[in-house]
Amino acid sequence: MYIVPDQTGKYAVVTGANSGTGKEAVRRLAAAGAHVVMAVRTVAKGESARDEILARHPNAKLDVRRVDLADLASVEEFADGLIADGTPLDLLVNNAGVMAPPSRIETTDGFELQMGSNFLGPFALTVRLLPLLLAAGSPRVATMSSGTASFGRIDFADLQWKSRRYSSNGSYAQSKLADMIMTRELARIAAERGWNLLSTGAHPGFTRTNLQTAGASLGTGKRSLGTTLLTKMDFLPSQGVEPGTEPLLYAATSPDAVAAGYYGPGGRFGLVGPATTARMTRRALDASVNARLWAEAERLTGVALPAHAV
């Protein structure tokens, strides 16, 4: 079991904090002494999760704040609120996501839901929070990807799946590959500019959460065959939320984690087991593609590196 190092005095933000790996990450960060902002879309669910954590850890320092990553105005409002507080941010954990809605749905800003919620929203949040991150002593950004990123392709001609026949699993894989690319490109930018910022990534293997079922209930289409099979794959090794969160916690807190490092389960098929270094798909290693995707994300979100952080 991975033991989170002492986080006393650390200020952290965790997205998707009301359930699954997000809630477990909050619990263990807070138990280690961090003051954690639970960034959630539904405040009531966040408060319920906070109360559950406080029942186990009465001294935990937890705040619940609303952010909808599928709405860039909400991302801006959330970031502006933190910036107005002025507290340096030691850790941003980009955990929230949606998986495989059976039909194509658009975000408030007209993005395909998975690309918007899983990548463009977290991208905008990360860039908007850079001033607070760079004000901290040793800031980190840990971003959750997925093993399915290996099947993803960045289609610059149709990132939003408007021209192609919609594939819920293909879109999910593309969004998670984009998260992996963001991890690497942020690490490159940090090194280029001399920022003391560590950008890392992780994947949870096959961890049993509501991610596989919640997305499938959205929209009006039939659940894809791939999603249906995934929920019935009892023959594959799987694990609970506690071990499944450990790669993300390792990426976020381990003194041994490295820039652009990627971590996942080290057991059978990379689906279960203790956190270890994982291999990124080669599709995330093309520097020109990575820089192009970052530039495209800036264009789509209207959020660019702040002048005073360059």
Q: Which residues are catalytic?
A: 172
What is the rounded distance in angstroms from the CA atom of residue 209 to the CA atom of residue 307?
A: 40
> Would you tell me how many other CB atoms lie within 10 Å of the CB of residue 79?
22
> Containing H/E element for 99?
none
| SS3 of residue 146 by DSSP | coil
Residue 79's Cβ-side half-sphere holds a number of Cα atoms within 13 Å equal to: 22
**Which residue do the tokens 């560590």 mark?**
198
Q: Reduced to 3 DSSP states, what percent helix, strand and coil does the chain have, rounded to the nearest 5?
A: 45, 15, 40
Burial of 174 per CB tally in 10 Å (0-12, 13-18, 19+) = buried
b/e per residue 88-119 (b: at least 16 CB within 10 A): ebbbbbbbbbbbbbbebbebebebbbbbbbbb
What is the rounded distance in angstroms from the CA atom of residue 123 to the CA atom of residue 143?
A: 10
Torsion sign, CA atoms 272, 278, 283, 287: positive
Torsion sign, CA atoms 121, 128, 93, 67: negative
Torsion sign, CA atoms 149, 155, 158, 163: negative
What DSSP character marks residue 237?
Answer: -
Single-letter amino acid code for the residue at 227: T
